[in-house]
Structure formats: structure tokens, C-alpha cells
Amino acid sequence: MKITVIGLGYLGATHAVAMAKLGHEVIGIEPDDAKRESLAKGELPFYEPGLDKALVEVIKQGNIDFKRSHDEGSKAAELHFICVGTPQKIGSNEADTKYLFSAIEGLAPQLSEDSVVVGKSTVPVGTAADLTAYLANLTGFEPKLAWNPEFLREGTALEDSLNPDRIVIGTEDDFAEQKIREVYKPITDQYNTPILITDIPTSELVKAAANSFLATKISFINAMAEIAEVSGADTVKLAEAIGMDERIGKQFLRNGIGFGGGCLPKDIRGLIARAEQLGVGQAVGFLTEVDEINLRRRSRVTELAVNELDDPKGKKIAVLGAAFKPDSDDLRDSPALSIALELANKEAQVFIHDPEAYEQLSKNQPTLHAREDISEVLKDAELVILGTEWKQYKALDPAKLSVKNKTMIDGRNVLNREAWEKAGWKLISLGRG
Ligand code: UDX
């Protein structure tokens, strides 16, 4: 099928490559020259395992083309996926939907009555209705607009797109439903993926609800960690024990410095803001607490660091990891980066390492000392903080590390206490008595 993918950020680039890999003819629309030109050359503007190779492959196959704006090619497309960002508004919890409306403006002249517009971006419930009205006004006919939320995770984005747990399609239009089923047919045929057809508001809410639920699970276990820290309990064992109950499940119960990234934090805040606008803010009042528990974990690490060093001023601290999670170079709302910045703010000499985010750190974080070589970060450090559980940090041999003071705060509970203590380290864990 001929399709367009509008907005080639994290979500859009992955979706465009995935659709091209399925054999569709994809036109990717991205006004940002640097981003688009990089993609057209087969270079991903961000780190995502496996997606880089797949991009080169689909370019070679001729299944994908990149354009600054729409042209005749878009007119021939049957489906138009809108994948633009909906970032948190500055100074507010609300999601900013302005890029959706500008995407719709650009798209309107290309549409005919049979074109199907499919929103994939995460939006406040009710946005699709506003977009439909806006689009109808621009085109002069009733547009076929559906919502099809995306659940991919960074680090496994391509895999998640090609083999999702479920496909949710919000539409009341049979033609739109059939077209969307057709585009995903290679996936549903291969994996028997369940398709859930819903009304549009449900499909918009599904994504915010799923991410809020995941964030709540993480904050729940981090709240237990606060109790464990003053009562001598072990949160890792606790999570194992409650996770064995199938009704609870063991995933997303890893305590530590909490969640970050471009989705979970912004999506819970967006849901709070939208519920308040709809007059039911109380229904998600607990999400404010979820957010606060999460942010308290970062302050807890700063507090532990200050306790260890007395006054951090002028002392060298090594931070291992800056990305919000491993296998990603995404620094948005990253707990590890936020702790590093907080300590730099207290005038510590913060040296930081990340396997993939070095360039961004050295370019954008002047108060931190980013180094490509981990031994330079560790050398003479009076305290080490593990902020992101990259596999190379988990594999470090504690006996071979050269630091000034063998104290480690394990922000992700991934280091083997026995081995580290045996090598003479003081290992401080979160939520473990
Ligand atoms: C999330 C959703 O999982 C995905 O479905 C949605 O499409 C986008 O948002 P992502 O932001 O890539 O994906 O990361 P995720 O794997 O969910 O992790 C989010 C954060 O939670 C990370 O900072 C991670 O370190 C943290 N986390 C995760 C925990 O602290 N504990 C856990 O048990 C799990």
C-alpha cells in the first residue's frame, strides 16, 4: 500500500521503517532538514538497536522516500499516519497538540474522500474530534479519521512495531477499519496479533491509561522502597514475592531511581491535565502522587550522596549512565541525568559516562564533565552512582576499578552485593533496608 508517515521523530521514523519493511511504499514527511537528510542517508538521528540496519535495508529496497512536505506522491497514498510529537507544554501539565493541527493543515490539500488519516501520536482524549472538525473545515467533506495508538518501547522499538501485543484501532468507519487492517495484515497473518476495534475516545485514552498504569506500578514499588529503607525490608525480594501473584505480575516492579523518558512522565501529567479540564481531576489525583514518588527517588540519591560526602562541593563524583534507560540515548526527563545535574548544582565535580549519549552530553551539559572513557570518569572519584543499567556497567569487575573511594550507589539494584563487598566496596542500594 502507498502510505505517508508524517513526523519522523522516534515514533514516526520507527513506524515508517517498519511499514517499509512490511513491503509498503512509504513517504516520510519531515520538515526538519537535519533529521530528514540524515534519515535519507540511512543514518538514524538517534540510537535504537536494529532500526539503523533496517533503515538502510528499506532505502536499498526503494520502499521509502523522504520529503520535506507533501507533493503529488502524497495524493496517491491511501493511508496517512500522523506521528508528530505531543510534548508537555512549558509551565503546564498539558500536552501540546499544536504539531497535530499543523500536520493536518499540510495534509488537507492532498486528501480525497477515500483517504484515511490515522493518528498514532499520544493525545489528550477528545483531540481526534477537534481534528476531525478542523479537517472537515479545510477539505469541505467529512474526513475518515481513525486513531491507532502506538505502544513501542525505546530500545526494542522495531521489534515492538513489527510484533506488537495488540493493535488498537479507534474508528466508526468501516472503510477506514478495512484499510488499517490491510496495512497491518503482514503482521496479523504472521503473529496472529489481536486487533481491538474501539470508538475513537477509547483509542485515545488507551495509551494514556496504559502508560499511567505502568508508571503507577513503578511508583508503587518505589513507595514500598521508602518504607523498606526505614524498616529494614528488602524491596527486591518484596517485588519478587508480590510479582509471583499472577494478578499482579512481576514486570515493572523494579525499584530504583524511577521512570523517565519522553512518554511516562509526560503522559501521566497529560492525563491529569485532561481529566481536570473535563471536570474529573479527582479521578486521577493519585497520579500526582505517582509523579511525586518518582521524583522523590532522585532526591533520595542526592541526599545519600550528600550524606556520604558531607559536603559534595569540589568532590569528584562518577555517574555511570545518563540515558533514561539502557539501549537508548534519550536524555529526556532522565533520572540519571537529573541526579547528575543536581549534584553539579551543589558544586560537586560530576563526571559522567554513557555508552550512547556522550555527544549530546558534551554538547548540551556544560556543568557536567562527560567522558567517552569510563576509566577517566572513575579515576579519583570519591563516590560512584550507577544511574542507568547498561549491560557494560552490570559486567564491571569491582576488583579492577580504580577510584579514590570505593563507595557505589546502585540506583538500579543490578549489582551483585556480595561481589562488590568482597572487592572492598561499600554498596548502597535503594529500598534494601
Ligand atoms: C514507555 C511504554 O513502556 C511504551 O509502551 C510506550 O509506547 C512509551 O512509553 P519507554 O518510555 O520506551 O516506553 O520506556 P519503558 O521501558 O516503559 O521504561 C520507562 C522508564 O521506567 C525507564 O526510565 C525505566 O528505567 C523505568 N522503569 C521501568 C523502572 O524504573 N522500573 C521498572 O520496573 C520498569
Which of 160, 253, 263 has most ligand 1 atoms within 8 Å of its beta carbon, as the pocket-test mutant? 263
Taking only the tens place, the pLDDT of each residue in 59-117 is 999 999 999 999 999 999 999 999 999 999 999 999 999 999 999 999 999 999 999 99
Tens digits of residue pLDDT in 257-305:
999 999 999 999 999 999 999 999 999 999 999 999 999 999 999 999 9
Predicted confidence (pLDDT) per residue in 218-270, tens digit? 999 999 999 999 999 999 999 999 999 999 999 999 999 999 999 999 999 99
> By alpha-carbon position, which residue is closest to atom 30 of ligand 1?
258
- Cβ(77)–Cβ(112) under 8 Å? no
Q: How far is the CA of 187 from the centre of ligand 1 (A)?
A: 24
Contact 321, 393 (CB under 8 A): yes
Question: Exposed (0-12), middle (13-18) or buried (19+): which is 70, by Cβ within 10 Å?
Answer: buried
| CA-nearest residue, atom 16 of ligand 1 | 153
Q: Are the beta carbons of 357 and 293 closer than 8 angstroms?
A: no
Would you call 263 a catalytic residue per the annotation? Answer: yes
pTM, rounded to two decimals: 0.96
Of the pLDDT bands very low, low, confident and very high (cuts 50, 70, 90), residue 433 is confident
Expressed in angstroms and rounded, the spacing between residue 264 Cα and the centre of ligand 1 is: 7
Closest CA to 317 of 290, 348, 278, 285: 348
> Which of 135, 238, 263, 352 is the catalytic position?
263
Query: 264-277 vs 285-309: helix axis angle to the nearest 10?
Result: 140
| Beta pairing, strands 316-320 & 349-353 | parallel
Q: What spacing in Å lies between the alpha carbon of 56 and ligand 1's midpoint?
A: 27
Q: What is the pLDDT of residues 325-377, one digit of tens each?
A: 999 999 999 999 999 999 999 999 999 999 999 999 999 999 999 999 999 99
